[in-house]
């Protein structure tokens, strides 16, 4: 079940964020995203357990996917695909020309995942990430 992310979801979101990412977003960053951008959670409909979330925004006809995570126990069940498609659908009325994202260049799983959604690597951003320092792959998909 996909719903808009609300402030009340933040404790569960932050727990998952810290489990998954080496340089997790803070509560303040998520609060700003909830207030100003697009953010969705995916819950287990039976017990409301958080299974994943996605954040993004639309600017100058480009929809940026900024943060996507699925609880490791639920990988390869199509949930990440559902969340990306939901964000794309939510942006549709604003007619984005492209979807864009950055991903750690060592994150081969995510790169493979995004390729299944028709994203292609178009370049690199040097030392984009910290903890550990790493280049970002820039990936784009046309609408």
Ligand X SMILES: CC(C)(COP(=O)(O)OP(=O)(O)OC[C@H]1O[C@@H](n2cnc3c(N)ncnc32)[C@H](O)[C@@H]1OP(=O)(O)O)[C@@H](O)C(=O)NCCC(=O)NCCS
Query: What does each C-alpha distance from 60 to 66, 85, 87, 96 come to in angstroms?
Result: 16, 20, 16, 8
Q: Is 140 in the site for ligand X (CB under 6 A)?
A: no
Scanning 7-15, 29-37, 79-87, 124-132 for contacts with ligand X by CB under 6 A, the matching segment is 79-87
Q: What's the rounded Cα separation, in Å, for the pair 113 and 9?
A: 26
DSSP 108-124: HHHHHHHHHTT-EEEEE
- Show the site string, 101-130: x = touches ligand X by CB under 6 A, - = not: x-x---x-xx-xx--x--------------
Applying CB under 6 A, does 63 fall inside the site for ligand X? no
Which tokens belong to 66?
């900024």
Distance CA 84, CA 56 (A): 10
20-59 footprint of ligand X as x/- string (CB under 6 A): x---------------------------------------
Nearer to ligand X, 45 or 93 (CB): 45
Shortest distance, position 107 Cβ to ligand X, whole Å: 5
Q: Please calculate the CA angle 19-43-93 and round it to the nearest 5 degrees.
A: 105
Between 90 and 101, whose beta carbon lies closer to ligand X?
A: 101
CB of 61 to ligand X, least distance (A): 21
């Amino acid at each position: 079940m996909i719903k808009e992310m609300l402030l009340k979801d933040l404790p569960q979101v932050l727990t998952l964020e810290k489990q998954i990412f080496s340089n997790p977003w803070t509560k303040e960053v998520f609060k700003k995203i909830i207030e100003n951008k697009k953010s969705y959670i995916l819950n287990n409909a039976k017990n409301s357990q958080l299974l994943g979330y996605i954040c993004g925004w639309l600017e100058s006809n480009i929809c940026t996917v900024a943060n996507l995570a699925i609880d490791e126990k639920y990988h390869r069940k199509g949930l990440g695909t559902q969340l990306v498609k939901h964000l794309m659908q939510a942006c549709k009325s604003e007619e984005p020309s492209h979807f864009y994202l950055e991903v750690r260049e060592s994150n081969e799983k995510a790169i493979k995942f995004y390729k299944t959604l028709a994203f292609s690597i178009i370049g690199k951003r040097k030392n984009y990430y910290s903890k550990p320092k790493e280049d970002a792959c820039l990936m784009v998909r046309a609408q």
